[in-house]
Amino acid sequence: MESSRRVGIVEISGKSGRVRTPGTETVTPFPDGFLWGAATAGHQVEGGNVNADLWPLEWAENSTFNEPSGDACDHYHRYPEDIAMLAELGFTAYRFSLEWSRIEPEPGYFSRAALDHYRRMMECCLNSGVTPVVTYNHFTLPRWMAGEGGWAADSSPERFGIYASRVTEHLGDVLSWVCTLNEPNLMAMLATTGVLAMGAGERQSAPGPPGTRSPGVGGFDPTRYRMGLIAADVERMAAVHRSAREAIGSVAPHVKVGWTLALIDLQPAPGGESRWKAARERGQTDWLTVSRDDDFVGVQTYSRSLIGPDGNVPPPEEVPTMQTRWEVYPEALGHTVRLAAEHAQVPVLVTENGMATDDDEARIAYTRRALEGLADCIDDGVDVRGYMHWTLLDNFEWNAGYSITFGLVSVDRETFARTVKPSARWLGQVASTNALE
């Protein structure tokens, strides 16, 4: 359908939405109210997250972590300057996560101080014209929850529902977007493709030999434990998600609720068609279908993976890769947004996309191409509500520690001083004009 809309001083017409300004530049506008943000996760930036399940794993003998998270970016204390910086750069949204282990450090005990802290963060966003997009769980669990068996414990849907309900009672009036779980399909992706979507660096997360350290606080043995995601099958994680969604809906029905999924762009290599089909189903589309009852689905993508008859086929030597050794493949964004829209049949929010590199020009080039693909989806009628870049700050990249840099802003590891990279200014400009030039 032909349409015509005005963006700034430029008249846009035609399905493509692309126009020539009076100069020669092509301008690609995004829909009114489109959210432009950057994303972080509590454990990766806050620092001192000592009650989380991963903390003892980071310090264990034979740890699979290259280094511990420690003080991270001290975002727990420095969030006012970080949010002010985000707003000044031109962003209109900030995706961050709540740390369950701070809010509920013992089962059933809720810390009012921690809840107040996150409330202040949200108010800080709103006072700066930034919409908070809040993730209730981004991988880390309280140690006691890990002790119960993490998500594999039969109590997990109820436990998460109680937490979600208490959090929403405290924050509901300032909330508008909630991601219940971050990438609950991550372990399914690993099982079906051998590819893990996190910057895992050299030491992929095989647990150390049993008995190398005494059992951790909270009754779980860090040497036998890997993330909170063990035994995370779609039925269990869907039950956990629904339990939170119902809790949120009954306390604050105005809040838009969804979950975010790890959507590596899976493609078949010669001979790998049946394996690819199975991987896509079990790792992605089975999970996307769960989103049909939600208000949106969060798409998180970085690269593609070719699936051959024996599993993941690593990119050939000559193909440019990121620090994580994933292929530089920004087309993944457009492809996976289409996949998500087709199977979830709800609006899409891009909740993570970015490039691990120390070459900031390459980050800009990658992001530009990814956004071009996203604009094409929108032109084709896909309902996309926003784009959150991963990530705001160079942060703790899980097993890889601080060596991998996805950030728009670098952080001095001694002083915590922030330095804005050109990519942050570039993307902030896109955000403030709501258009790609």
Catalog residues that contact ligand BGC under the rule CB under 6 A: 41, 44, 182-183, 197-199, 262, 300, 352, 390, 397, 406
CB of 6 to ligand BGC, least distance (A): 37
CB of 404 to ligand BGC, least distance (A): 7
Structure tokens at 372: 């071009």
> In terms of CB distance, is 165 or 323 closer to ligand BGC?
323
> In terms of CB distance, is 7 or 332 closer to ligand BGC?
332
CB of 393 to ligand BGC, least distance (A): 11
CB of 58 to ligand BGC, least distance (A): 15
CB of 307 to ligand BGC, least distance (A): 19
**What secondary structure letter does DSSP report for 414?**
T
> In terms of CB distance, is 198 or 239 closer to ligand BGC?
198
> In terms of CB distance, is 223 or 391 closer to ligand BGC?
391
Distances (CA, A) of 382 to 124, 182, 232, 346: 32, 22, 30, 9
CB of 408 to ligand BGC, least distance (A): 14
> In terms of CB distance, is 42 or 147 closer to ligand BGC?
42
> In terms of CB distance, is 28 or 64 closer to ligand BGC?
64
Dump strand ranges (E) for 40-140: 93-97, 131-137
What is residue 34's three-state secondary structure?
coil
CB of 407 to ligand BGC, least distance (A): 10
> In terms of CB distance, is 91 or 302 closer to ligand BGC?
302
C-alpha of 405 from chain center: 15
> In terms of CB distance, is 41 or 85 closer to ligand BGC?
41
CB of 7 to ligand BGC, least distance (A): 32
Please answer whether residues 192 and 278 qualify as being in contact, where contact means their C-beta atoms are separated by less than 8 angstroms.
yes
> In terms of CB distance, is 95 or 280 closer to ligand BGC?
95
CB of 138 to ligand BGC, least distance (A): 6
